[in-house]
Amino acid sequence: MRQNIVAGNWKLNTTLQEGVKLATELNEILASKTINCGVVVGVPSTHITEVVKAVDAGKIGVAAQNCADQESGAYTGEISAAMVKSTGAGHVILGHSERREYYGETNATLKVKTDLALANGLTPIFCIGEVLEEREAEKQNEVVKSQIEEALFHLSADEFAKIVIAYEPVWAIGTGKVASPEQAQEIHAYIRSVIADKYSAEVADNTSILYGGSCKPGNAKELFANPDVDGGLIGGASLKAEDFYGIIAAF
């Protein structure tokens, strides 16, 4: 059975001290609560080791927001999947639209990153989603299909079973515009059908598909109520422990 997951993406925010404070606050809130979903925080790579120490690993997993497309060597400034794993992170966010747009990441690059993440025991939270013009042209299904096909469908069924998908319509990220529950359900069901066609209904049923894009405590419940929406990838609202908890509490 697939897991419901609420994952935060802190992006390029917080100093180390601020990040440890935020993680500690979240940990304190969750300590006294019953949590009905997996919780992950995607933090800057400089923070991972300290955030791992600050949280209860039984309740909060830690993710990197990227990893290199090379194993090791002369790649100044890069952080490999093995390095990420050695910090104590269990997940890595891959293919976020900001990385695709600002750092030129392609499905081909992401294929390599996914392989390296899996080879190093990390769970990829793999982001897909269309831009506004593609949605307006009703091309969202073909966009997400090709993103999955080109970056992930070389994986065996056993490997694919380790992937978490995050559907993030680019027009909804950080814009305050959220996909309607109907729009989210429709495309999540489509994504699941694409996975079922490639692998099997069982693999598709077991894949967690998260929604991302201006998800907040006020709209999380109606989004997560959909049968094919298995949680969220949360940007802005993950930067305040109370807001992030408000989304976690939607399950």
Q: Can you give the binding site for ligand PEP, defined by CB under 6 A?
A: 9, 168, 173-174, 212-215, 233-237
Query: What would the two tokens of residue 156 be?
Result: 């065996």
**Which residues on adjacent β-strands are paired with residue 123?**
91
Q: How far is the CB of 72 from ligand PEP (least distance, A)?
A: 28
Q: Choose the catalytic residue: 47, 50, 91, 96.
A: 96
Q: Choose the catalytic residue: 105, 134, 168, 188.
A: 168
Q: How far is the CB of 166 from ligand PEP (least distance, A)?
A: 7
Nearest CB to ligand PEP, comparing residues 173 and 204: 173
What gap in Å lies between CA 97 and CA 104, rounded to an integer?
10
Question: Could you confirm whether 130 is annotated as catalytic?
Answer: no
Dihedral sign computed on CA atoms, order 193, 182, 221, 232: positive
Nearest CB to ligand PEP, comparing residues 30 and 237: 237
234: three-class secondary structure by DSSP: strand
Q: How far is the CB of 26 from ligand PEP (least distance, A)?
A: 16
Q: Please report, in angstroms and rounded to a whole number, the separation of the first and last CA atoms in the chain.
A: 16
Nearest CB to ligand PEP, comparing residues 183 and 193: 183
Nearest CB to ligand PEP, comparing residues 84 and 93: 93
What gap in Å lies between CA 35 and CA 246, rounded to an integer?
11
Q: How far is the CB of 188 from ligand PEP (least distance, A)?
A: 15
Q: Are 68 and 76 a contacting pair, CB within 8 Å?
A: no
Question: Could you confirm whether 96 is annotated as catalytic?
Answer: yes
Within a 10 A sphere around the Cβ of 224, how many other Cβ atoms? 22
Q: Are 188 and 228 a contacting pair, CB within 8 Å?
A: yes
Tell me which residues are annotated as active site.
Answer: 96, 168
